[in-house]
Amino acid sequence: MAETNYVTQETFEKMQQELHHLKAVERPAASKAIAEAREKGDLKENAEYDAAKEAQGLLEAKIKYLEGVIATARILDETTIDTSRVSILTKVTVTNMGTKKTMTYQIVSEKEANLKDGKISVTSPIGKGLLGKVVGDIAEVSVPAGILKFKIENIYV
């Protein structure tokens, strides 16, 4: 996982809190569940033990993944963002040239993407298509349904 993960300070802190919770609370609980299941006898036919071991494996994988994301995180400062062109963490108001509908998106990392909140990933087709554009540009975005054209109306933080 050598790629850089661009995140805000808030998201970085949330990831650190989640990792701490997994290590300090979830990991001991998983170990306890395994110990309790082990006490119930024959491990060959102990479904509870198997389930506890599997849950522990999934937990450890999640911890390892989160540690990797945190290790490669680069915290972006919103006060230093150039709003002359679309880049990560900028908000961009676009008009869909086909539907004439106007919407605003914030370009964020994959970890922060949430379409309901208007946050789209920098690696999504629309995110990639908008990157580097300036106000007035027409971005042509290739999506499974075809080509969408977006006019850049405004860029801000």
Range among 74-78, 80-84, 86-90 rated most confident: 86-90
More confident: 82 or 28: 28
pLDDT at position 50 is 87
What confidence tier does 38 reach under pLDDT thresholds 50, 70, 90?
confident
What share of the chain in percent tops pLDDT 90? 57
Phi, psi of 94, rounded to the nearest 5 degrees: -130, 155
Out of 11-20, 50-59, 73-82, least confident range: 73-82
pLDDT at position 2 is 54
CA 135 to chain centre: 27
Q: In angstroms, rounded to a whole number, what is the distance separating the alpha carbons of residues 157 and 62? A: 32
Q: In angstroms, rounded to a whole number, what is the distance separating the alpha carbons of residues 147 and 13? A: 38
Average the pLDDT over 90-96 and give the result.
94
CATH number of this structure's domain 5-75, picked from the four choices 3.40.50.2000, 3.30.420.40, 1.10.3210.10, 1.10.287.180: 1.10.287.180
Judge whether residue 5 has pLDDT over 50.
Answer: yes
Query: For the chain, which residues make up each domain, given as ranges?
Result: 5-75, 80-156
pLDDT at position 1 is 41
pTM of the model: 0.68
Q: What order of strands is seen across the sheet that includes strand 102-108?
A: 119-121, 102-108, 91-96, 146-156, 138-143
Q: In angstroms, rounded to a whole number, what is the distance separating the alpha carbons of residues 27 and 64? A: 12
Helices (H), 22-118: 27-38, 47-71
Domains 5-75 and 80-156 share a fold: no
CB 88 within 8 A of CB 107: yes
How do the residues of the chain divide into helix, strand and coil, expressed in percent and rounded to 5?
Answer: 45, 25, 30
**CATH domain 80-156 topology:** Chitinase A; domain 3 (3.10.50)
pLDDT at position 3 is 74
* 97-151 per-position pLDDT tens digit: 999 999 999 998 887 889 899 999 988 999 999 999 999 999 999 888 889 999 9
Query: What average pLDDT does the chain have?
Result: 89
